[in-house]
Structure 1
Amino acid sequence: MAGEQNPERSFGRAANQMRPVKLTRGVMKNADGSCFAEFGDTHVLCSATIEEGVPKWRSGQRLGWVTAEYAMLPASTNRRSAREYKGRKGRSMEIERLVGRSLRAVVDMRRLGELTVTIDCDVIQADGGTRTASVTGGWVALYDALWKWVEADRLSRLPITGQVAAVSMGVVGGRPLLDLDYPEDSHADVDLNLVGTADGRIVEVQGTGEHDTFDREQLNELLDLGQAGIERLVAIQREATGYSA
């Protein structure tokens, strides 16, 4: 993996470098927790809302639930897309399920009790990696929402068990790259997303040979890139929230 700067990549970064990442907390007055996640030119507004009760199928188990909703605003891409409504968003449903699974991996549902936390991820501007920004910023919004309830004595203790973040990797023009922007993602031979925890464990790997196949050695190289990216992202989360396990 080359470490020198590359003017062909956005922000002149090397193959193993991420775009500038910024996580801004408390950007919505009425949300229990919120975060504006910026991965370069990809901007996602994440909010967390806590409500009493759980879905019917979970009722009576004394277990909480964490779920997510995801949408791209019409002008978030270079061509206006139709506004998304319930029942007509296949890709968005796939992403919001990913976000929900990722965040549930670091929540103690018994400690949460019969509460539902909904993470809303709205893409303001898309330049690749909207799902990874949603997971990473979604954790910050989730943390702040749950901590707010602890401070208000509505929860006895924080039900979060750790941190989770996500990043993309891929092979573009024969080179393994970390954190693909849209031009890279749209031309990738191999496209992967990694969701991981602060202690190095993997929550989910999504990988596809878009225009070429890949072998185990290439997969390992991409996962090494991704886990280094996760380490950087959880450090940024800690800087933003002051969280310590």
Structure 2
Amino acid sequence: MTQIKDLLPDSDALNAVRADGRAVDELRPVKVIRGWTQSPEGSVLIECGNTRVLCTATFTQGVPRWRRDSGLGWVTAEYAMIPRATQDRTDRESVKGKVGGRTHEISRLIGRVLRGVTDLSKLGENQIQIDCDVLQADGGTRTASVTGAYIALADALEWAKGKKKIKSVKAVLKDQVSAVSVGIINGTPMLDLPYTEDSQAMTDMNIAMTGNGQFIEIQGTAEHRPFSRDELGTLLDLAQKGNSELQQLQRKALEMPLGETLEYTGKTSRPASLAEGR
């Protein structure tokens, strides 16, 4: 089987150290806290490096009018950034009176990806609304939103099962899903780009994958030069590695008590209490 190191431009590329100290195939540190807010049926704070996103899932009985009497449920998502999630303040879109194109695109992406692993017939005529609010942005906000939203969705379904609104979580959730960014920086393919890398990437992609290794979404653009078929293959391999690690984290997070922090260093994942030696 071809290894990622064999696909990189030279033998030193795999061991190259990035500005934040990571190898090219290494995720940023990740933290997950379930039950971060009390009201929603599912609530997750996810941190990927310096990017922080609050993902909530709201379970409601009934579906939109256009979905009624279909026997099918619905999963939808809204994405937004708080005004100072970025270096400079941006006005809330509610003040502007119009949802921006980027916001609308990312909202649709998150909903589409989650529906890809949801059996809407097993959900029944119920709706789950996902809200992803970016508290701090440093690249990869949409991919962090997908990864955190899956956990929030799973928790909302567990709540619904407890209330006897659905029969089985496993019947509704057909598979896991996570997402990660990849890109080519100065000719070298890299995994999980912070803003400084993303802003200078020759090519950048956002890739969502299921737990069984299938693709749900691939968004990719060449910014400064076209990319080759071999480079595309390397980026897909990096994304597969990153998504596999994120899905391992998702599984562990869902096994932990609400409110406890799961930390992932890119090498191993463990509860924060163990990471701090308690």
Query: Does residue 191 of the first structure (1) align with residue 201 of the second (2)?
Result: no
| Correspondences of 1:2-81 after superposition (within 5 Å) | 2-4=13-15, 6=17, 8-10=18-20, 12-81=21-90
What residue number does 1:173 align with? 186
The alpha-carbon deviation at position 5 of structure 1 amounts to: 5.9
Query: Does residue 112 of the first structure (1) align with residue 112 of the second (2)?
Result: no
Query: Does residue 160 of the first structure (1) align with residue 165 of the second (2)?
Result: no
Which moves more between the two structures, 182-191 or 54-63? 54-63
What residue number does 2:269 align with? none
What residue number does 2:132 align with? 121
What residue number does 2:224 align with? 211
| Correspondences of 1:223-242 after superposition (within 5 Å) | 223-242=236-255
Provide the rounded CA distance (Å) in 2 between the counterparts of 1:145 and 1:69: 16
Across the aligned residues of Structure 1 and Structure 2, the Cα RMSD in angstroms comes to 1.2
What residue number does 2:99 align with? 88
Give the 3-state SS of the residue equivalent to 2:134 in structure 1: strand
Identical pairs, percent: 49
Give the 3-state SS of the residue equivalent to 1:223 in structure 2: helix
Provide the rounded CA distance (Å) in 1 between the counterparts of 2:128 and 2:192: 28
The alpha-carbon deviation at position 4 of structure 1 amounts to: 2.9
What residue number does 1:150 align with? 161
Query: Structure 1 length as normaliser, TM-score?
Result: 0.96
The alpha-carbon deviation at position 3 of structure 1 amounts to: 3.8
Q: Give 5+ residue unaligned stretches, structure 2.
A: 6-12, 257-278
Give the 3-state SS of the residue equivalent to 1:127 in structure 2: coil
Query: Structure 2 length as normaliser, TM-score?
Result: 0.84
What residue number does 1:102 align with? 113
Structure 1 residues 75 and 45, CA gap change in structure 2 (3 angstroms): same
Runs of at least 4 residues of structure 1 off by over 4 A? Answer: none
Query: Does residue 221 of the first structure (1) align with residue 234 of the second (2)?
Result: yes
Which amino acid in the other structure matches residue 130 of structure 2?
A: I
The structure that has the greater radius of gyration is: 2
Contact 1:51 1:117 in 2 (8 A): yes
Provide the rounded CA distance (Å) in 2 between the counterparts of 1:23 and 1:62: 34
The alpha-carbon deviation at position 89 of structure 1 amounts to: 1.6
Provide the rounded CA distance (Å) in 2 between the counterparts of 1:154 and 1:238: 23
